[in-house]
Structure 1
């Protein structure tokens, strides 16, 4: 299904730390705790063609309401009236071109409580291009960890599986990359017709040559 989409430059408060390109060390290439502001994060949203994306309300900003470590995390809110829509934030991650890699990505997502209803999905994506539509994220239940080489890495899994913070993680096996920049996107996808707020924090990207 075609999607109308919009990318908005983030005007909230958050930030990333880049530790350089892949070097084979144990240090992550990218870590993010949102302690210093929005930095290079950009925000975006998309919804199905039956709804104008301008009518889909969403917010992404830094908050002190919840945090796994430190004092801040990224708050993602979106409305559920249309039983559809996805909201995300995306950040560049450096990589050495000409190599093939095994990349591990992890992050923390906060839900208000545990629920038997699937209210939102957590979405994560790492690839050569930033997302522009919901179809750019994995399908529900998919995690690229065990799929071998894929065009991009990521996951889409249910939120509200626990009260508070829960870790989500995936691995991506790349083919030879021609780019020097990857794009990490994290967000939430609407499943249930209810407004919902989530927080995300403590993202890490580790890149190892293979």
Structure 2
């Protein structure tokens, strides 16, 4: 998706505070983005992947706004996935413009909340997330950052990684969950937060010599 199309969709730019005296390199203070789905999807788009499609029967799923429960405000995302394939992943995704950022490596941090109807120590499903410069299309592009049903109710999940960004590229953010058990399940997701800051360079470790 081009930056012009994203601008037409009202996709926000994640801004970093600039250094003094017109310095071109951003300082490490990021403007935080947040969304709790109170007035709409906020530009987040539902998507899914099932490895056997289209040869197998279609995956039954949905991600829609709902007032049934919420971590923040009155709405959250109602997320239904039928695991009868014993496979499949669903998520919401969103591109962000990065034209305000100088080219370089940035630490991108994602935080969101997922609701499970009960606690279970078995048959949990993987909670997944993606941070990168390309639109995620397959479940193997996602990192597993936790499991569902670790608590009854809302639980916070987070994911961070260093991403190489250019002004001409979008930053893609996505989060959701996958099926590993042949049952239908409904979860909820709410209150997503994203921050971006320049990645800190790793300090070189001093060379240690063996004493004689």
TM-score by length of 2: 0.76
**1:27 paired to 2:35:** no
- Selected match of 2:181 from 192, 198, 201: 192
Asked if the contact 2:11/2:97 (under 8 Å) is kept, the reply is no
In structure 1, C-alpha distance between the alignment counterparts of 2:142 and 2:104, rounded to whole Å = 24
Asked if the contact 2:109/2:161 (under 8 Å) is kept, the reply is yes
**Distance apart, 1:82 and its partner CA:** 1.0
SS of match in other structure, 1:174: strand
SS of match in other structure, 1:135: helix
**Distance apart, 1:127 and its partner CA:** 0.8
CA RMSD in angstroms comes to 2.2
Counterpart of 1:172 in structure 2 is 161
> Structure 1 17/200 Cα, relative in aligned 2: closer, same or farther at 3 Å?
farther
Counterpart of 1:7 in structure 2 is none
Compare CA radii of gyration and give the structure with the larger one. 2
What are the residue-to-residue correspondences of 1:75-114 with 2, within 5 Å?
75-95=78-98, 96-114=101-119
In structure 2, C-alpha distance between the alignment counterparts of 1:39 and 1:174, rounded to whole Å = 23
What are the residue-to-residue correspondences of 1:1-210 with 2, within 5 Å?
18=12, 20-23=14-17, 24-25=28-29, 27-28=31-32, 30-49=33-52, 52=55, 55-95=58-98, 96-138=101-143, 155-175=144-164, 177=166, 179-210=168-199
In structure 1, C-alpha distance between the alignment counterparts of 2:43 and 2:181, rounded to whole Å = 31
In structure 2, C-alpha distance between the alignment counterparts of 1:182 and 1:26, rounded to whole Å = 14
Unaligned runs of 5+ residues in structure 1 are 1-15, 139-154
> Structure 1 51/191 Cα, relative in aligned 2: closer, same or farther at 3 Å?
farther
SS of match in other structure, 2:104: coil
SS of match in other structure, 1:171: strand
Number of aligned residues: 178
**4+ residue runs of structure 1 moved beyond 4 angstroms?**
none
SS of match in other structure, 1:25: strand
